[in-house]
């Protein structure tokens, strides 16, 4: 039962991050990330998800890299890099920064989003952390609701959505 609960939680988290990240980003004026060069040889694969019971949050960054005593999470995306990282990718990375901080006791100063052709460093600022915590709190409120309204008007987003077949609010 707890695994089902956890899976539902993660599903809801992914959806909410996707739907709400644009709105939060606009409200907080978060940094969009800076292009960096990274040496992938130093990246260590993460075998098990990180889990923090106090936040009821779990997630598995693709890699962790140690630099100067700091632990930096890395999220790998298979597509080509946009001009700036997508908001949903920034919040996913921020949740890994939060999990690293909670489970390892070291706050990452930034995380890395690795696209096929470019890497971005995204600073894990207090503003980003607060925005993430707001989203998580909102998500918990929505956990107790029987349905959550769709917050976009993009048919193309629905066409690419994995929940299209079971979603009664799909636009396409
Ligand atoms: S099908 Fe569309 S409305 Fe439904 S969850 Fe997916 S993106 Fe949202």
Kindly give the confidence (pLDDT) of every residue in the chain, 172 residues in length, as a single tens digit, with 9 standing for 90 and above: 455 555 556 666 666 666 655 555 545 455 556 676 666 777 888 888 999 998 889 999 999 998 888 999 999 999 999 898 988 899 999 999 999 999 999 999 999 999 999 999 999 999 999 999 998 888 888 777 767 777 788 888 888 777 788 888 888 8
Burial class (CB in 10 A: 0-12, 13-18, 19+), 69: exposed
Kindly give the distance from the C-alpha atom of residue 131 to the centroid of ligand 1, in angstroms, as a whole number: 23
Q: Is the pTM here over 0.75, yes or no?
A: no
153 CB neighbour count, 10 Å cutoff: 8
pLDDT on residue 75: 93
Residue labelled with tokens 């992938």: 40
CA 104 to CA 100: how far, in whole Å? 5
**Are residues 80 and 115 in contact, defined by beta-carbon separation less than 8 angstroms?**
yes
Nearest protein Cα to ligand 1, atom 3: 170
> Does residue 167 line the site of ligand 1, with CB under 6 A?
yes
- Helix, strand, or coil here: 122? strand
């Amino acid at each position: 039962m707890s695994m089902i609960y956890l899976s539902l939680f993660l599903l809801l988290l992914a959806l909410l991050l996707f739907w709400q990240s644009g709105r939060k980003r606009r409200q907080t004026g978060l940094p969009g990330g800076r292009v960096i060069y990274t040496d992938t040889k130093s990246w260590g694969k993460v075998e098990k998800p990180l889990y923090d019971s106090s936040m009821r949050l779990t997630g598995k960054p693709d890699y962790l890299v140690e630099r100067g005593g700091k632990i930096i999470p890395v999220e790998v995306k298979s597509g080509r890099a946009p001009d700036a990282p997508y908001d949903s990718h920034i919040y996913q990375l921020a949740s890994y920064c939060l999990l690293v901080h909670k489970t390892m006791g070291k706050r990452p100063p930034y995380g890395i989003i690795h696209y096929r052709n470019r890497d971005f460093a995204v600073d894990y600022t207090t503003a980003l952390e607060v925005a993430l915590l707001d989203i998580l709190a909102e998500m918990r409120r929505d956990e107790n609701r029987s349905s959550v309204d769709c917050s976009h008007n993009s048919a193309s987003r629905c066409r690419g959505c994995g929940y299209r077949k079971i979603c009664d609010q799909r636009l396409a």
